[in-house]
A and B are shown apart, each in its own frame.
Chain A
Amino acid sequence: MSSLTQALLQVRWQPSIQFVRYRRINIQKPRPPHYVRKLVLHVCEPQYEKPKKSIQELCLRPVFLTKKQKVEENPFQTLLARDLVNWCEKSNCIYIFQQNSITGPDIFKAKVLFKRQQMALQKYDRPTMEEAFSSNDKYKALLPLIVGSPLSLAFGSEPQVSTVLKICRKVPELILLAGIFDNRLLSRSEMMEYTYFPNLQTAQAQLVSVLNSAATQLVQNMNQHQQTLVGHLEKHVELKSEDK
């Protein structure tokens, strides 16, 4: 018996190897654990105490402290602003519209209508306009218009207020607010008056005639008495010669 146990003890234990796994180990998206196990794991998770906030931080902070920092200078916006100033400098007439909510196809139709009249309708956002106009003294007067709802500008070479108003009737989303004609900012009523004016050459001719009329009137008034005297004398001479 003892020899048998000795023999058994002397036998070397050899573990049998069996390959169970035939796929790669799933690490990236492991199988969700069993519900109970999940609960236990959740319970066993260590909980650390959060660092305590001071009383100043716990109170609501005033809004001016939480305001966003000023936005950095945008080079593309600067480019657009320069483009806008160039457009303004190039064109004699600028019409300023308030643009209410409008669909893409409708605004395209409006642009076509303006294009037919040799005008260009363009829309710039508020910060771009502010940048363009605030740096330029000539257009600073436009700044009160920029506040609020979006604006679009139409650039043309000749004043065509009646045509623009007709287009506005077709596109009710565009509301004509003001205009710049020959470097002069006009309100809407002034623009309407401008339509009744004749063109520049006719106006100049009228002015010249008005200026001349005063001079001619003066000459006429000055000569009137002398001429009447001469007339009377001539009559007198005639009468005398008839008597002889």
Chain B
Amino acid sequence: MSVPFSGTIGRSRGIVDAIHKQLRLLNLKPVGRIAIKFDPFGSKASETRNFLFHITLPKVRETNPECVIKTEILSDRSDPNVEFKLRNGEKVIFKAGNLTTLELLQLYNKHITPLAPPPEEASIAIVTKASKTKGSRRK
């Protein structure tokens, strides 16, 4: 008896691809300050350290250069913790002890990225040849 076909055409493209997909969606605009606390010798710190690495990528930082990212290195073997201070005064805390990097990014994109204001569309006034010539004539 074989296992019935589950409906997926192929296998998933892997965790790295999933992380990159989340990074493309990431937007730091609603955040004013990010504080990442972890103990490097703690057993659960590696995922948070990866999250720190991903959130400080230049492409992500470009979304909001004013956002301050602070890291606090603890030495008490406590669970890692990520704190976001939003611009609207709210505070979001991710207790990252049992979360993977991908889950952290997904949670960010679920709860914080939607708060970002819609991108402003640059209104470009259409300059036609005729209007240009008219303006020059008036002079």
Which residues of chain A have a CB within 8 Å of any CB of chain B? 55-56, 58-60, 98, 100-101, 103, 144-145, 147-150, 173, 175-178, 187-190
Q: Cα distance A60–B56 when bound, in Å?
A: 38
Instruction: Give the residue of A147, A148, A177 whose beta carbon is less than 8 angstroms from that of B73.
Output: A177
Which residues of A sit under 8 angstroms from B2, Cβ to Cβ?
55-56, 58-59
Q: Is the CB of B56 within 8 A of A101?
A: yes
Q: Is the CB of A100 within 8 A of B52?
A: yes
A13 to chain B, nearest CB (A): 68
Q: Is the CB of A60 within 8 A of B3?
A: yes
Q: Is the CB of B43 within 8 A of A101?
A: no
Which residues of B sit under 8 angstroms from A145, Cβ to Cβ?
40-41
Q: Is the CB of A148 within 8 A of B50?
A: yes
- A149 in contact with B11 given A187-B41, A188-B73 (CB within 8 Å): no
- A189 in contact with B3 given A145-B40, A148-B45 (CB within 8 Å): no
Instruction: Give the residue of B53, B74, B75 whose beta carbon is less than 8 angstroms from that of A100.
Output: B53
Q: Is the CB of B75 within 8 A of A175?
A: no
B123 to chain A, nearest CB (A): 34
Chain B binding site: helix, strand, loop or mixed by DSSP? loop
Q: Cα distance A103–B41 when bound, in Å?
A: 27
Which residues of A sit under 8 angstroms from B75, Cβ to Cβ?
187-190
Those 6 A-B pairs whose CB atoms lie nearest each other, nearest first = A148-B46, A187-B75, A149-B53, A189-B75, A177-B40, A188-B73
- A175 in contact with B71 given A100-B53, A100-B56 (CB within 8 Å): yes
Instruction: Give the residue of B3, B41, B58 whose beta carbon is less than 8 angstroms from that of A178.
Output: B41
Which residues of B sit under 8 angstroms from A147, Cβ to Cβ?
46
Which residues of A sit under 8 angstroms from B6, Cβ to Cβ?
60
A-B contacts, 16 listed (Cβ < 8 Å): A55-B2, A58-B2, A100-B52, A101-B56, A101-B58, A144-B40, A145-B40, A147-B46, A148-B46, A149-B50, A149-B52, A176-B73, A178-B41, A187-B40, A187-B41, A189-B73
A162 to chain B, nearest CB (A): 16
Count B interface residues, CB 8 Å. 22
Instruction: Give the residue of A59, A60, A149 whose beta carbon is less than 8 angstroms from that of B49.
Output: A149
Chain B residue, CB-CB nearest to A63: B11
A123 to chain B, nearest CB (A): 14
A71 to chain B, nearest CB (A): 18
B74 to chain A, nearest CB (A): 8
Q: Is the CB of B53 within 8 A of A178?
A: no
Which residues of A sit under 8 angstroms from B39, Cβ to Cβ?
187
Which residues of B sit under 8 angstroms from A177, Cβ to Cβ?
40, 73
Q: Is the CB of A60 within 8 A of B11?
A: yes
B122 contacts A by Cβ under 8 Å: no
Q: Is the CB of B41 within 8 A of A173?
A: no
A139 to chain B, nearest CB (A): 14
